[in-house]
A and B are shown apart, each in its own frame.
Chain A
């Protein structure tokens, strides 16, 4: 059974139907990319699925549970977390504390009114495991504001991992990165996909083709093709959407 099933998703802004009947399903253990030309509605769809925008119509199911219209914080407890295209880390605290916020949220410790106790070392242990996974161990004590752009993009992913999602949604994880750093992110995503499904919006087509198990191509608010990277890159509708209608047909 699919982990995420989106059917007939619509989001209107006034008279504009930014997402217009999107159908999408993500299988467990897969890296699924959502691509499309600018203005195709990827970001709007992403925001609807992750609970930051209320859908106008349609249905979103996560792990067999109807989560349509749930706010983001509730979706997190249902097993979904996301990153942001524009890095949103907590600049004024340490890298480890950035991750600890999410770990405590998952362990339902947000409303503990006293510091210390046995749970603190448990949280630290989980944080260090996550930092080890993403390769930020050496920076654990640094303030997030001191990190390089590439490190901040990695921390962005680490924060979203801290809530142990079943589905990790990555919004352009390589935004603004050099080719070398982007490759690093690619390897990290592949490694993470062993434990969590990944839904990815990304502009770097080479990365998407090399990384994804399945690709859904959006244009004008709908999915125009879904399949393996090979199938999608041969698809005539996709080529038309990206390159425009050929003149000498």
Chain B
């Protein structure tokens, strides 16, 4: 449903909207890269966290927004990637590329197996099984003390190194995360506009019809599952460097809930929505927790209002206002 308005909008205004997209994108890019010189260090820390979460939310959007597999356990790939990257950085090498590659390899193996089971289901059954998978990993993180150090968590992860140089927290790590986030956004934007993206949405709309025109539904769902988990693992790996460690809480169901909230808030099934959702989530969380004891209540209210008033999330706002203007001008 979220795609209907944006697709028609694009068809109608074509080149103008492409120019607007490029303009807004270039401005955002400049602002993101200039932020360390403009904003306070604390804001930069918040932005770094928001961009890491944005990668995670984008990965959920691929699986739940476009492939139509609503995951209640999306902490799984995130937490797993965090543990793998953190373990590698502590025990082998703090090289950020090697650590993240190791994390991706681990996440790939687990996602390939978990996905092969989970994608046989759809609808609520898939949601529940995805939740179960995440809870299993959560229990493993608590129980496998030799590797995970149990409830204490994996602490003392060193600062990341890139080509031999240490990347300090603050601006340098922020730039690294921004580049990875924007590369992910650009890559996903292409993939979601590609035949593969269209195929995923066809499966989401009607999997029986998709199968009847030769689309291997299970294969495509599995691919979406694995790619989604690996992007979540990338986010988890970056988060473990940002926080210098991780705990079993990174695999907890409440984290799966948070990423789902960010993604829906920003716009499930859109492209840029999850980034907006993650940034709003982090900054709203910061403002509300520092002023209110009942921040979750207030955030919940805001979430409900947004979901009811703007079904396609923050990313759907321009299209929605466009439609309003069009209605008034008639």
Contact = CB atoms under 8 A, between A and B. Distances in A.
Interface string B205-227: 11011111111110010010000
Contacts of B210: 101
Interface string A103-122: 01110011111110000000
A90 B212 CA distance: 12
Contacts of B215: 73, 101, 105, 110
Contacts of B209: 84, 88-90, 159
Interface string B176-201: 00000000000000110111101101
B190 A81 contact: no
Interface residues of A, number: 38
**What does DSSP make chain B's interface, helix, strand, loop or mixed?**
helix
Contact of A81 (B196, B208, B212, B223): B212
B3 interface: yes
A104 B208 contact: no
A88 B141 CA distance: 45
Interface bin, chain B? 20 to 34
B12 to A, nearest CB: 10
Contacts of B11: 94, 141
B16 interface: no
Interface string A37-64: 0000000000000101000000000000
Contact of B217 (A73, A104, A111, A141): A73
A101 B198 contact: yes
B7 interface: yes
Contacts of B208: 52, 84, 88
B223 A111 contact: yes
B8 interface: yes
Contacts of A92: 1, 3-4, 7, 201, 205
B15 to A, nearest CB: 15
A128 to B, nearest CB: 16
Contacts of B275: none
Interface of A: 50, 52, 71-73, 76-77, 81-82, 84, 88-94, 97, 100-102, 104-106, 109-115, 141, 143, 145, 159-160, 162-163
Interface of B: 1, 3-4, 7-8, 11, 190-191, 193-196, 198-199, 201-202, 205-206, 208-217, 220, 223
